[in-house]
Amino acid sequence: MHASPMHYFPVTPLFMLLLGIVLALLIALVEVGAISYAYEKMGIRRQYVFLVLLLTLAGSAINIPIAEFPAKDIAVGRVINVFGVQYVIPQIEHREKTILAINLGGALIPLALSIYLLVKNRVYVQAAIAVVVVAGVTHYMAWPVKGVGIALSPFVAPITAALVAVIISRWRAAPVAYIAGSVGTLLGADVLNLHLIQQLGAPVASIGGAGIGDGVFLAGIVAVLLA
């Protein structure tokens, strides 16, 4: 089996530059206490806020393969525009296979943090209800994009998660919003659409990757701030 470039940033250099600018802005917000206050509402100490943000963004370049599926008409080495964002389709040698992977920054880190927040804040029932609602909305709003994977407007998950969290758990809205925005999006947009993998024509279909990871990341910021 030949190696394939599983680790790549899913957007073009121009958008990587924009993400760098956003990261610099986030660092500034952490320093003045704006973002760190939002995270402290969830139960994360101020000194760990920047680390969480940095690992989430940097981890978006790391995809961990978990399975392979036969596929036809694989699109490679192209750039696809989705919601104004240019996503990169990697060039791989396996033209007749789609590699299913899980993204470190867009899935594993948010899942780990969600479990921590769930246990720390003991919002089991509230989080379960919110996750189901967000999963339903994101599943309905998401659709497959040839060569890229599953597409979803980046603001659907965080806004839905924040609204649901405020309604069902006013005093624990921040952690519920994060858990629902992260887990609900991954479940509704990605996991419930796994049956479409062979039809996507994508060389790499990453859970929490391009098209979903940005929404999960925003769920960690926008949803908490709204809550």
Q: What is the pLDDT of residues 12-29, one digit of tens each?
A: 556 656 666 766 776 676
Handedness of CA 51, 210, 195, 188 (dihedral sign): positive
Q: pLDDT band at 167, cuts 50/70/90?
A: very high
**Exposed, middle or buried: residue 55 (CB in 10 Å: 0-12, 13-18, 19+)?**
middle
Residue 215: inside a domain? yes
State residue 60's pLDDT score: 80
Q: Kindly tell me if the per-residue pLDDT of 217 is higher than 80.
A: no
Instruction: Reply yes or no on whether the pLDDT at 45 is more than 90.
Output: no
205 lies in some domain: yes
Model confidence pLDDT, tens digit, residues 117-154: 999 999 999 999 999 999 999 999 988 877 667 878 87
| Domain interval for residue 149 | 13-226
Distance CA 189, CA 90 (A): 21
Cα(90)–Cα(37) distance, rounded to whole angstroms?
A: 38
Helices vs strands, H then E, count in the chain: 11, 7
β-pairing, 204-207 vs 97-103, is: parallel
Return the half-sphere exposure (C-beta side, CA atoms, 13 A cut-off) of residue 115: 5
Question: Which one of 35-44, 90-99, 191-200 scores highest in mean pLDDT?
Answer: 191-200
In a domain, 59, yes or no: yes
Establish if 192 belongs to a structural domain: yes
Residue 8 lies in a domain: no
Is residue 135 one of the residues assigned to a domain?
yes
For the chain, list the strands marked E by DSSP: 63-70, 78-82, 85-89, 97-103, 143-145, 149-151, 204-207
pLDDT value of position 4: 46
What burial class does residue 211 get, using C-beta atoms within 10 Å of its C-beta: 0-12 exposed, 13-18 middle, 19+ buried?
buried
Tell me how many domains the chain contains.
1
- Indicate whether 119 belongs to any domain: yes
Choose from 56-70, 72-86, 142-156, 194-208 the range with maximum mean pLDDT.
56-70
**58: in domain:** yes
